[in-house]
């Protein structure tokens, strides 16, 4: 995503000037790495996702245990 470091703002690629400078201060805009259409980008799974998975698993295990104990 194009960003201007002096301004500290991110721009849409269509909003920078034709020569690739920031529209407000005129500094060169740094374009970050972008994935192409056929390229996959691996991202780490956030830690709070795993907290949710653990909570759901613990809840379901407790409910199964309650169901088994109810039969006896």
Rounded distance, CA 70 to CA 72, Å? 6
Q: Taking residues 53-63, report their average pLDDT.
A: 98
Q: Taking residues 21-31, report their average pLDDT.
A: 81
Q: Compute how many other C-beta atoms are within 10 angstroms of the C-beta atom of residue 28.
A: 13
* φ/ψ bin of 26: left (φ > 0), alpha (ψ from -120 to 50), beta (otherwise): left
Q: Taking residues 41-61, report their average pLDDT.
A: 93
How many domains, in total, are found in the chain? 1
64 or 9, greater pLDDT: 64
- 3-state SS, residue 9: strand
**Domain housing 11:** 2-35+44-71
């Amino acid at each position: 995503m194009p960003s201007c470091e002096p301004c500290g703002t991110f721009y849409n690629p269509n909003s920078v000037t034709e020569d690739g400078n920031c529209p407000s201060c005129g500094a060169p805009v740094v374009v970050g790495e972008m994935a192409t259409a056929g390229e996959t980008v691996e991202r780490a799974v956030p830690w709070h996702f795993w907290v949710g998975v653990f909570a759901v698993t613990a809840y379901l295990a407790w409910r199964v245990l309650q169901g088994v104990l109810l039969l006896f």
